């Protein structure tokens, strides 16, 4: 399945001109701080709209300002992971992971076993009944990834997911991602500044750059 975005988005005075196509692969989003890497992810996730152009996933149009078509974030089947795991503090670990399935109307008798299976695949099944405020940074990111993938998204977006992890946890998480991603036939975009992330996880790079007096570009 291909993700295609050709268009322009604006945030206040900031303009980002996007022309990307990503297949079933892991692609690094690289560039200096503040050039628009997270904005690019937000466009794909539906948290930021285009002002011109079009975003498509396979044959499905996600955003087309000229026709007035815009698919809301919750209807895009896109998983977005930030630097912070952003787990729900009022839910325990297994209920965090089952949340997305339950929100889609999946019965608890199905959602809970699926959540437990996802936790097992990421090596944190023993944390299922734990409160999320008792988790380490590495544990929280594993739970967040289990929550993202249990709903079988059509795109995975990661915004510097290793930033809060120590060196040992980064290595473990990176290897786990490589293993999990190997069996996924969907586009995967990861914002990173780390050459090790790029060499061990990614097939290529999309560069976001901004020159003085010109719109930022993502190519």
Q: Once rounded to an integer, what is the mean pLDDT over residues 67-83?
A: 94
- CA gap 205, 28 in Å, rounded: 5
Say if residue 164's pLDDT is above 80. no
Q: Once rounded to an integer, what is the mean pLDDT over residues 71-99?
A: 94
Residues 6+ apart with CB under 8 A from 98: 108, 111, 112, 114, 115, 150
Q: Once rounded to an integer, what is the mean pLDDT over residues 171-175?
A: 89
Pick from 22-26, 68-72, 96-100, 182-186: least confident: 182-186
- What number of H helices and E strands is found in the chain? 6, 11
Say if residue 192's pLDDT is above 80. yes
Instruction: Show me where the domains of the chain are located.
Output: 1-77+155-219, 89-152
- In this prediction, residue 219 has a pLDDT band, given cuts at 50, 70 and 90, of very high
- In this prediction, residue 163 has a pLDDT band, given cuts at 50, 70 and 90, of confident
- In this prediction, residue 169 has a pLDDT band, given cuts at 50, 70 and 90, of confident
Residue 205: its H or E element: strand 204-209
Q: State what percent of residues in the chain have pLDDT above 90.
A: 87
**CATH number 3.40.50.300 is the correct assignment for the domain at 1-77+155-219:** yes
pTM of this structure: 0.93
Q: What is the pLDDT of residue 36?
A: 97
């Amino acid at each position: 399945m291909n993700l295609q975005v050709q268009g322009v988005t604006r945030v206040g005075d900031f303009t980002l001109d996007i022309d990307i196509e990503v297949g079933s692969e892991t692609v690094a989003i690289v560039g200096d701080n503040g050039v628009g890497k997270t904005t690019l992810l937000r466009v794909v996730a539906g948290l930021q709209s285009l002002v011109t152009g079009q975003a498509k996933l396979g044959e499905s149009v996600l955003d087309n300002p000229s026709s007035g078509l815009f698919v809301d974030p919750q209807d895009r089947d896109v998983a977005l992971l930030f630097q912070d795991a952003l787990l729900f503090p009022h839910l325990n670990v297994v209920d965090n992971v089952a949340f997305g399935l339950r929100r889609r109307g999946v019965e608890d008798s199905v959602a809970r076993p699926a959540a437990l299976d996802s936790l097992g695949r990421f090596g944190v099944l023993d944390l299922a009944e734990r409160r999320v405020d008792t988790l380490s940074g590495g544990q929280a990111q594993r739970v967040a990834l289990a929550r993202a993938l249990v709903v079988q998204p059509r795109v995975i977006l990661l915004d510097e997911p290793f930033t809060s992890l120590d060196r040992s946890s980064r290595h473990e998480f990176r290897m786990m991602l490589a293993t999990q991603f190997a069996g996924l036939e969907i586009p995967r975009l990861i914002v990173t500044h780390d050459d090790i992330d790029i060499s061990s996880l990614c097939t290529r790079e999309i560069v976001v750059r901004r020159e003085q007096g010109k719109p930022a570009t993502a190519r």
